[in-house]
A and B are shown apart, each in its own frame.
Chain A
Amino acid sequence: MSINEKFSSIRKGLLEFLVLKIISADHVYAADILRELNATDFATQEGTLYPLLSKLRREELVDYEWKESEAGPPRKYYKLTAKGKEQLRETLDYWQKISSTVKSLGQK
């Protein structure tokens, strides 16, 4: 089992966190989220992203507004809600804790 496979479920679990982090830039379009993710190991596709975005919206972590686009129909631009910002902050803190744990273990 390669490292890549071993970490596939972890990557899957982290996706929501990363999507929140990308949306924290404010007024993000779904295609931009994909572009940003696809440059990393967390590459994903519309088929996964759209259901995830709708779940985040149902949980009131993100919200969107419609904006006219130069070509085609209006697009949805996503942004974090107060609850989403709070959750992102907590997750970031927790992530710091985990990564310092990973660093400190076995060092003695």
Chain B
Amino acid sequence: MNRVITINLNGNAYQLEESGYEALRAYLDHAARRLEGNPDKDEIIADIEQAIAEKFRAVLGVNKTVVITREVTEVIGAMGPVEDSSTEGKSVEATGQPQATGAKASERSNTTGAAENGPQGVRRLYRIYPEGAMLSGVCNGLAGYLNVDATLIRVGFVLLTLLWGLGVLLYLLMVVIVPIAVTPAEKSAAAGAAATAQEFIRRAKAGYYGMKTFHDKHAHREWKRKFKQEMRGWKHNFQREMYEGTYNWRQHWAPQSGQPHPKFWVGMGFTLMILKWVRLLFLFLGIYAVYSLATKGGVFGVLLPAGIPLWVGIVAIIVIYQLLTLPLKALQFSCYYHGMPPHACAPWLAGPFAGLIWLGFLVAVIWLADHYVPQIHEALKQLPPLLHQAVDAVQRWLERT
């Protein structure tokens, strides 16, 4: 007499003998590890689950409701080992290596992904509270996730706060979004530990091997709603602060004597135009980046490192976008409210001058990145065809509507 376990494969229930279940679980776990870093991992796993389900259906009948262990092993044998053809040649056999060290963890951010990050424990971003937390465990959790000292992260947040209070906003956002690690499995995942058995149970609970559609969709929608709300609040606050800031600044610095030089307005108009175009360009790039991250799992040929959930990537893009456009916004606002220091030697030049400095700075950063970061060099080389594709896509869409 054998115990029977019921599993859900792609929406259908199957009953397996316990040891057959263990074998199937090991096979799917192994497959998931081999596909680590593949942007279509979940889809391939779902395909494989469906193929297994079809094979199970073939051996079951009206009077036979349980798949016995021998049949499970036969099906697994027929499926064959999962080989990722896109990382062929580089792939290392899964070795069951228990834990990633800090150095190994930082390697995970390489672009080719897959191969190197063998079977590490699934790392997840949680707030770690109250163990070692100062306020709410955000920095503590990030430190565990990134494998660096929590103090460094805290200093980072304080420094970010100097930038229009960005650190505080980001912190509050994370308090709301990032869950606290409660269960032992979550705690070990928060610290990047490989809790293989626990990790599996957590995944099973989270619907990794079935029922994922409802759970995920619902949770996803809820999260999206919250996220949008947060972003709206953030934007509103930011704009109000910006407005008040320039207003106060004007009160202090507004020129006591009459109108600014007429040439001032020409310069302003020109700068504003350039700033607007640059911001628009950033906006398109940002939207494209989020789109390609969501559909292809990577941005400009740089893949999202394995183990980092999609939403973290999207938040990162938004933060980068905000960081890049903050100075632009600030310049635009100061142009609108033309609060020029009265003792500046050539006030009508100040606006365009600041704009040019910003553009120069941007070009310098891109140039440096292009020269010293090979991934960015590759990504920049890919830009023109990508732009063509984007234009084509827009045209096709226009033709359809």
Residues in A lying within 8 Å of B, measured CB to CB = 16, 30-31, 44-48, 50-55, 57-58, 71-73, 75-76
CB distance from A64 to the nearest CB of B (A): 10
Whether B83 contacts A51 by the Cβ 8 Å rule is yes
Residue among A16, A54, A55, A71 with the highest chain B CB neighbour number at 10 A? A54
Tell me the complex Cα distance, A61–B51, Å: 22
* B residues at A contact (CB < 8 Å): 10-12, 31, 35, 38-40, 43-44, 47-48, 50-51, 53-54, 57, 78-86, 296
B12 touches A72 (CB 8 A): yes
By the criterion CB–CB under 8 Å, are B38 and A47 in contact?
no
Known: A54-B40, A54-B44, A72-B12. A47 touches B82 (CB 8 A): yes
Establish whether residues A46 and B79, one from each chain, have CB atoms under 8 Å apart when the complex forms. Answer: yes
User: In the complex where A51-B85, A54-B40, A57-B40 touch, is A46 in contact with B80 (Cβ < 8 A)?
Assistant: yes
With A46-B48, A46-B79, A72-B12 already in contact, the answer to whether A54 and B53 are too (CB < 8 A) is no
Of all chain A residues, the one with the shortest Cβ separation from B27 is: A47
A71 and B57: CB pair below 8 A? yes
Which of A31, A47, A57 lies in contact with B81, CB distance below 8 A? Answer: A47
Once the chains bind, are A50 and B51 in contact (CB under 8 Å)?
A: yes
Contact assessment for A73 and B10 in the assembled complex, using a CB-CB cutoff below 8 Å: yes
In whole angstroms, how far apart are the Cα atoms of A71 and B85 in the complex? 30
In the assembled complex, the Cα of A72 lies from the Cα of B84 at a distance in Å of 27
Q: With A30-B47, A72-B53, A76-B47 as given contacts, are A48 and B11 in contact (CB-CB < 8 Å)?
A: no
Give A57 to B43 CA distance when docked, in angstroms. 12
CA distance A45 to B51 in the complex (A): 11
**Which residues of the other chain, B, contact A72 by a CB distance below 8 angstroms?**
12, 50, 53-54, 57
Give the chain A neighbours of B82 by CB distance below 8 A: 47-48, 50-51
Known contacts A45-B79, A73-B10; is-contact A54 B54 (Cβ 8 Å): no
Asked if A30 and B51 make an inter-chain contact with CB atoms under 8 angstroms apart, the answer reads yes
Docked complex Cα distance between A52 and B35 (Å): 12
Query: Binding site of B, secondary structure by majority: helix, strand, loop or mixed?
Result: helix
> Which residues of the other chain, B, contact A46 by a CB distance below 8 angstroms?
47-48, 51, 78-80
Complex Cα distance, B78 from A75, in Å, reads 20
Q: Which residue of B lies closest to A48 (CB)?
A: B83
Which chain A residues border B11 with CB–CB below 8 Å? 73
Q: Are A31 and B86 in contact (CB under 8 A)?
A: no
Closest chain A CB from B292 CB (angstroms)? 12
- A54 and B38 contact, CB distance less than 8 A: yes
Select which of A44, A51, A73 is within 8 A of B12 by beta carbon: A73
A45-B79, A47-B83 are known contacts. Are A54 and B50 too (CB-CB below 8 A)?
A: no
Closest to A59 in B: B86
A15 to chain B: closest residue by CB:
B85
Give complex CA distance A75, B35 in Å. Answer: 22
Residue of B nearest to A53 (CB): B47
CB nearest to A71 among chain B residues: B57
* Min C-beta distance of B22 to chain A, whole Å: 19
Bound form: Cα–Cα A51–B51 in Å: 13
11 A-B contacts (beta carbon < 8 Å): A44-B80, A47-B80, A50-B47, A50-B51, A51-B38, A51-B85, A51-B86, A58-B296, A71-B57, A72-B53, A75-B50
Chain A residues contacting B84 (CB-CB under 8 Å) are: 51
Query: Which residues does chain A contribute within 8 Å of B39, judged by CB atoms?
Result: 58
Rounded to whole Å, the gap between the CB of B102 and the closest CB of chain A is 31
Contact B54 A31 (CB under 8 A): yes
Minimum C-beta distance from B77 to chain A (A): 9
* Residues A48 and B50 in contact, CB atoms below 8 Å apart: no
CA distance A72 to B43 in the complex (A): 18
